[in-house]
Amino acid sequence: MFCNFDEIVNRKGTDSFKWDKAKDRFGRDDIIPMWIADTEFRTDQRIIDAIKTRAEHGVFGYTFRSKSYYDSIIKWIKNRYKWDVKNEWITFSPGIVPALSMCVTSFSHPGDKIITQTPVYPPFYSVVEHNGRKLIKNKLKIINNRYVIDFEDLNKKMRIKNTYFTSKLNDLECKFDSSIKMLFLCNPHNPTGRVWTREELLKIGEICLENNIIIVSDDIHSDIVYKDYKYIPIASLSKEIENITVTCISPGKTFNLTGLATSSIIIPNEKLREKFNRTLDTLELDGGNVFGTLTAEIAYTYGEKWVDNLLQYLEQNLNYLINFFNNNIPDIKPIKPEGTYLVWLDCSKLGLKGTELMDFFVNEAKIGVNPGFTFGVDAENFVRINIGCSIKQLEKALLSLETAVKKLKVD
Ligand SMILES: Cc1ncc(COP(=O)(O)O)c(C=O)c1O
């Protein structure tokens, strides 16, 4: 299996968000772009070959998703994650963010509330708020440099509606508190890199079951998990949890195919699935595209080894980064991710936050990163860096950061 993750691919001039929008985003384009969550890697050669062969056919009319497409998804999930998924449970969305938005409109009403663990991927806020719902924050806690779920807070926020029947809350408060309809889970979690454990997932599942809350689990990063950790689809834990869960997956992050806009939304519960599909039909979004369907099937059918190699490469990058910060830039503390190629950097000790911190990264270190404050109000001292690139690029970025931090301390 040949894969050369060291290869430097020039993406400038390909309408790449990460490279060609750097100037719009950061005000300059002489930066090393380590922000938006795609990788610098060429995808598996078999995927490229399949695209070429199909492109040569020259006719790109309407297509449908065949049985072999669904079989490839089912096999991937079974082989890698030991979850038995049925063909009819799998529905479609062009992307996972559109799927989250469709879940919001399918399973809740304007004014309803959706709870999630924060800090979190910014569209978790926008798909809720743009649809006229409210996001309730279950803030993660940091213990020993690792984020954990505050179950006491989650329990309290979810259970308030039980008091509707028993407490003396005034009427307004009762209505307010009884309207959490959904929990948005991100597993693995962006930006903290946590891969939730069986125990954590079971607790979440139990709380949601007890409180009639639908779980929407965004598992887009599920294939990118480091060797000491294990991704478990929350729906695989029990039939009861499966019945209240919508699981969103895609080959996009794993195989660098996000531009082909094809994801799978797995909804075992027939009623929930019907609701979701009604929204999908109303928006006329079910069509998909010929290359997205083709590449997902090829990736899921033949991509196991390629992904295993990718994981080794990313682990090497991650170890390099952790050692580099420990040895050379101790004032920045990376939160070691258990999954994803995104690393959440605690920059508190630099004494900069928010836009000042971003200004430092962009104009002094010359690295394009995602600002922490876009992930939540308590994350002003953080930035997110993307290590899905050649180790050369990572080395260059970190050396540049080291020089900038040294200069900052002298100044
Ligand atoms: C957690 C998470 N969900 C969804 C997405 C985007 O998904 P899509 O491009 O399929 O809409 C990302 C991209 O960074 C992500 O990190």
CB atoms within 10 A of CB 247: 27
Number of domains in the chain: 2
For residues 124-130, average pLDDT: 97
d(CA 161, CA 263): 34
C-alpha closest to that of 331 among 344, 345, 350: 350
CB of 121 closer than 6 A to ligand 1?
A: yes
* Pairing status of strand 263-266 against strand 146-148: unpaired
- Residue whose Cα lies nearest atom 13 of ligand 1: it is 37
Residue 189 per-residue DSSP state: P
Residue 225 per-residue DSSP state: B
pTM: 0.95
Residue ending a domain, choose from 302, 332, 357: 302
For residues 276-281, average pLDDT: 98
Residue ending a domain, choose from 261, 286, 302: 302
Q: Does the pLDDT of residue 41 top 90, yes or no? A: yes
* Whether residues 271 and 164 fall in one domain: yes
For residues 275-298, average pLDDT: 97
pLDDT the model gives residue 174: 44
CA 162 to ligand 1 centroid distance, Å: 34
d(CA 372, CA 377): 8
| pLDDT classification of 411: cutoffs 50, 70, 90 | confident
Cβ atoms of residues 385 and 393 within 8 Å: no
pLDDT the model gives residue 175: 42
Instruction: Write the pLDDT tens digit of every residue in 12-29.
Output: 999 999 999 999 999 999
Cβ atoms of residues 56 and 242 within 8 Å: no
* Whether residues 247 and 236 fall in one domain: yes
Residue ending a domain, choose from 273, 302, 331: 302
> What proportions of the chain, in percent to the nearest 5, are helix, strand and coil?
50, 15, 35
- What is the number of alpha carbons within 13 Å of residue 311 lying toward its C-beta? 19
pLDDT the model gives residue 2: 66
Q: Does the pLDDT of residue 273 top 60, yes or no? A: yes
pLDDT the model gives residue 149: 97
CB of 248 closer than 6 A to ligand 1?
A: no
Query: Does the residue 368 lie in any domain?
Result: yes
Q: Which amino acid is at 56?
A: E
* Whether residues 295 and 309 fall in one domain: no
CB of 340 closer than 6 A to ligand 1?
A: no
Cβ atoms of residues 381 and 372 within 8 Å: yes
Percentage of the chain modeled with pLDDT above 90: 92
pLDDT the model gives residue 78: 98
CB of 190 closer than 6 A to ligand 1?
A: yes
* Whether residues 145 and 283 fall in one domain: yes
pLDDT the model gives residue 160: 62
CB of 256 closer than 6 A to ligand 1?
A: no
pLDDT the model gives residue 409: 84
Cβ atoms of residues 220 and 250 within 8 Å: yes
d(CA 31, CA 165): 57
For residues 275-295, average pLDDT: 97
d(CA 371, CA 359): 10
* Whether residues 144 and 98 fall in one domain: yes
Residue 192 exposed, middle or buried by CB count within 10 Å (0-12, 13-18, 19+): buried
Of 170 and 311, the structure prediction assigns the larger pLDDT to: 311
pLDDT the model gives residue 155: 92
